[in-house]
Amino acid sequence: MIRYDAAAKIFTLSTPHTSYQMKTDADGRLLHTWYGRRLPDSCPDMAEPRAPHTDPGCWPDLLPLEYPAPGTADNRCCAVCPEYADGTEAADLRYASHKILPGKYSLPGLPAFRQDANAESLCITLWDAAGLQVELWYAVYPDCDLITRAAVLTNTGSAPLILRRAASACLDFSPRPLELITTDGVWAGERTPHRAPLRPGEQTIGSVRGIPGHAHNPAAILCTPDTTETQGEAWGALLVYSGNFALTAESCEAGTRLLLGIHPYHFAWTLAPGQSFAVPEAAFVYSRQGLGEMSRQFHTAIRRHLLRRPWADPQTPRPVLINSWEACYFTFDEQRLLQLARAAKQADIDLFVLDDGWFQGRNDDGTSLGDWVADPAKLPDGLPGLCKKVNDIGLDFGLWVEPEAISPDSDLYRTHPDWALKIPHRETVAIRRQYTLDFSRPEVVDGIWAQLQAVLNSCPIRYLKWDMNRSLANVYSAALPAARQGEVYHRYVLGVYELQRRLTEAYPDLLLENCAGGGARYDCGMLYFSPQIWCSDNTDARARMSIQYGTGLFYPGCTMGAHFSTVPNHCTGHISAPQARMAMALFGTFGFELDLTAYTQKELDGLTPFIAWYRAHGALLRGGDLYRLVNPDAANLGAAWMTVSHDKVEAAVFAVGTALAGSGGHCPRLVLQGLNESVAYTVTDGENTETCSGFVLQTLGLPLPGDYGEAPSKIWYLKQV
């Protein structure tokens, strides 16, 4: 619901539990006055009473501007910075008009939360007299307390201007103690949560790697110091973008400003008179019931309003797949692949994915990227021949590609050396022995699209894994003049989106999984196209506990690529119990990534109950609400969580590792959440079934085995009697 009080000049956007408010002051500046708990329908003016130092007459530099620009008083981090033809870098944005529209606004060329009949949009137009118009777009989604924001910036002057900054959103908080949570990491250790009180000054996470990268995710939470999983205030922010980003929290006497959007490094976008620039979307959720509720609202928002159909629907089954990577790496021939497919069939797996190494001359990571033609030495009958044989075994077929990459040793590079990003007269940096294609150029996107179409039209490929194994470097486009080089990073991302748009529109039933050297591009921009993203190259159950916990702060489990793999784990050497590995894979998209040809028939038979369990409860796992019961600690000793259906009729409960272990024979208990306390549930762990009231489960909890240790983990299914 969006209301405008014309007399008081107040905009109030409300969802069932939250409100967001802005007000234009007497001089036409748009001020941010509230984001938090739902305001009464009378929409009180939250700008009053003001702290003395926010009196605009005295301290205009400390005003909580909704979309701040530099040079005309605001001296904190700014959202937009135009450089006009006379060299001034300033804007003084004043209210011009607004409109309230049914449904959801759209952003040309950019992924965004989707159209929804129950959404409502607001556009406020601000104007700087020197020639910049800012359309601030807002949408409210009532079913999940989601508020999205974006902006369209237009040059209304008579000379070109350069955008030096173009953030997605800015949020000002009045002075109060706040803590910042971000998810950060490294390759094989992505998205580990870090929480710390805000310190005075600016704190920024971000990326100038061309992709979000392993180090930081484009998402953050501000919360009060007392906020826990189940109580306290939390403001969550997500960026719907897959390139360079900056997320800054700045604290000073005026309070805290949270700013998120495209990173200003090497960003300079020229707007000719009349031209516009759309900034990527940001999305916000506010919770008064702690981090758990915030996560559940984000999960619902992503599942219902971002993911692509048919995969968005929890009832749409996702195939249980086997991926060849950890089984074979680059060393295979057709016979070896078919042996693996046969073993997978015996375990009742649905789909066989051929990972890296299938195309001409690709025997290690040093060659052939860009030449998307099957290697006859490995696949004598090409992809169609292999696909048919896999289908004959009874499995669907899927394939790996890395469309943005080009090997210096490839036919594509020999033919089009200028298609790689490279700075003239400098050595081009190879990372993982490969360059990156200049996706800012439409003809490069067209060239790769033609190759992908040839592959996808050659045989029934049901699943495609789109990988991206390096950061950008040498970012310079041979196709743009010197003055436009500051556009390359963003144009690159637009090129990636364009190719994924073509792919998903031309092959609507193709299951696309994004991946970037593990989980280096795990963001809402990618999720708009692919309903699942490979979470990490680290498939160790213990490591996955914290990676998937951190990922789950924002993104639902149904988006997390997660596979059961062998022990000792290829990344960590750690040995974890099969049930722990199963639990972590079931938390996500559930697949396998190991050499099943080394399994005995008995071992293969041991996998099938889990696959059957996933088939039986997949819709619950994909569509239910997540409750985190025990979070993994720094030592990664254990975790427990549960997924409850919206109607609270059924639930799946997982407990992994040693953190919950009792001592001296004492049986610890796991107290559940999210259930209906006034009904009874049957509780089954696969061997025993008991009946227990929801009240007892949420007070006394489930008994854990006394010898609960690293080895046994527990998985329960609960159903209302």
Sites of contact with ligand DGJ (CB under 6 A): 325, 355-356, 400, 467, 469, 515, 517-518, 534, 537
Whether residue 109 contacts residue 494, with contact meaning beta carbons closer than 8 Å, is answered with yes
Q: How far is the CB of 111 from ligand DGJ (least distance, A)?
A: 22
Closest distance of CB 582 from ligand DGJ, Å: 19
Residue 125: count other Cβ atoms within 10 Å of its Cβ. Answer: 16
Nearest residue to 553 (alpha-carbon basis) of 147, 191, 284, 185: 191
Residue 364 Ramachandran class (φ > 0 left, ψ -120 to 50 alpha, else beta): beta
Q: Which is closer to ligand DGJ, CB of 518 or CB of 624?
A: 518
**Residue in 145, 356, 537, 540 annotated catalytic:** 537
Instruction: Return the number of the residue (512 or 704) whose C-beta is nearest ligand DGJ.
Output: 512
Instruction: CB nearer to ligand DGJ: give 148 or 323.
Output: 323
List the end-to-end C-alpha distance of the chain, in Å, as a whole number: 38
To the nearest 10°, the Cα dihedral for 399, 402, 406, 411?
A: 10
Q: Least distance to ligand DGJ from the beta carbon of 468, Å?
A: 9
C-alpha–C-alpha distance, residues 406 and 419, integer Å: 9
| CA torsion, ordered 287, 291, 295, 298, to nearest 10 deg | 30
Name which of 188 and 558 has its Cβ closer to ligand DGJ.
188
Task: Give 54 or 514: the residue with its C-beta nearer to ligand DGJ.
Answer: 514
Q: What phi and psi, each to the nearest 5 degrees, are found at residue 683?
A: -120, 115
Distance CA 398, CA 420 (A): 27
Q: Is residue 467 among the annotated active site residues?
A: yes
> Would you say 218 or 517 has its CB closer to ligand DGJ?
517
Active site includes 605?
A: no
Give the distance from CA 407 to its chain's centroid: 28
Residue 415: CB minimum distance to ligand DGJ, A: 23
User: Which ranges of 314-408 does DSSP label H, i.e. alpha helix?
Assistant: 325-328, 334-346, 382-393
Which residue among 467, 523, 540, 625 is the active-site one?
A: 467
Token pair belonging to 23: 């007000």
Shortest Cβ 325–ligand DGJ spacing (Å): 5
Name which of 517 and 556 has its Cβ closer to ligand DGJ.
517
Cis peptide before 212 (omega within 30 of 0): no
Min dist CB 332 to ligand DGJ, Å, is 13
Strand ranges (E), 174-298: 179-186, 189-197, 201-207, 216-223, 234-240, 245-252, 255-262, 269-271, 276-278, 281-287
Structure tokens at 429: 């940096």
Shortest approach of ligand DGJ to residue 432 CB, angstroms? 8
Instruction: Assign 3-class secondary structure to 495-530.
Output: HHHHHHHHHHHHCCCCEEEECECCECCCCHHHHHHC
Which residues are known catalytic residues?
A: 467, 537
